[in-house]
Amino acid sequence: MSRLDWKLLLRCSAVGFFCAVASSAQVKITKQQDRIAVEIGGKPFGDFVYGSGTPKPYFAPLRSASGAIVTRKYPMEEVAGESRDHRHHRGLWIGYKDVNGFNFWENEFSYHNPKAGTLVVRKVDEARGGKKEGSIRATIAWVDPRGKTLLTENRTMTFHDDSKLRIIDVESVLKADAESTFGDDKDGTFAVRIADSMTEKHGGTIVNSDGGHGMKECWGKKANWVDYTGEIGGEKVGIAMFDNPDSFRHPVRWHVRDYGLFAANPFGAHAYDPSAAVSSVALKPGQTVTLHYRVVIHPPMDAATIDRMYRDWAK
């Protein structure tokens, strides 16, 4: 074999090696126009959607390890028989109803709300896959209706490979660019809108870390975690959300409803409990708050198993 043949052989071997390494990555993250697609174990998981067409970035849909879509499809898709309330509930998102009196929650462009702010992705800092996990990091500006940036958010979403679970860690660091006050409101902050068939109204169950059952015992209550379990096409599946001990105002209050809204809200207090003092979180320029949550999409599990998962993560 000539020297040239050997060089070609080595080059092909090297290409084959790097292709094999790439194909072995279990979390694949692909940047596209105005969205970033995430695959886990060779299966689609969901897309991080941003850009001028949306008033705040969101991740949708969320899927179980079996491929069942556990979030409502509306308004991204219109499906016959699916609920069409709360158009601003898109997959998984972050927002808040009252920052300096501006609404970063109910802020769909179609609402024509003069008090609505927008969350603008200024930069995708990282979109990286890997064998065990992948991550998306983005810099997001919270812009009031006059065009002034009130907050700069550094958001990191980490996706984990697992054969039976789908796990997302989300850390959001909110830094004030201008004096910014979070008023006391029930509508916020880290949220997901689950599929209609999973909701308590359709036979689903809500439990929390303190033994609460159902919306009446879990809504507005502080807890380390909440789990919402129901059925998708006859398959039993659950979504658990965990609040990290290092997250702002741990344990957080939960805005969890029988129709499918499921959110962790560290800013509201009196809005949930009339006996609680009115909450007001004021940030001076340069000050920050850090939110840190985990989402686990899982097959049927009892509360003790979920609590063990939470405690292992919280360490």
The answer, yes or no, to whether residue 256 has pLDDT greater than 80, is yes
Q: How far apart are CA 263 and CA 276, in angstroms?
A: 19
Contact indicator for 53, 38 with CB cutoff of 8 Å: no
DSSP for residue 279:
P
What does the pLDDT look like over 287-303, one tens digit per residue? 999 999 999 999 999 99
From start to end of the chain, where are the E strands?
Answer: 27-32, 35-40, 43-49, 58-60, 92-96, 118-128, 133-143, 149-160, 166-176, 180-182, 188-193, 205-208, 225-232, 235-243, 253-256, 261-265, 281-283, 288-298
For the whole model, what pTM was predicted? 0.92
Please compute the mean of the pLDDT values over residues 245-265 and round it to a whole number. Answer: 98
The answer, yes or no, to whether residue 2 has pLDDT greater than 90, is no
Q: For the chain, percent helix, then strand, then coil, each to nearest 5? A: 15, 45, 40
Contact indicator for 69, 59 with CB cutoff of 8 Å: no
Question: Which residue in this structure is represented by tokens 């069942």?
Answer: 68
pLDDT at position 25 is 54
What does the pLDDT look like over 162-173, one tens digit per residue? 999 999 999 999
Integer angstrom CA distances of residue 263 from 11, 17, 72, 96, 221:
52, 44, 15, 11, 12
CB half-sphere exposure, 266, CA atoms < 13 A: 21
Contact indicator for 198, 232 with CB cutoff of 8 Å: yes
What does the pLDDT look like over 175-184, one tens digit per residue? 999 999 999 9
**Which domains, ranges and CATH numbers included, belong to the chain?**
24-314 (2.70.98)
Q: Which residue stretches of 156-285 are H helix?
A: 214-218
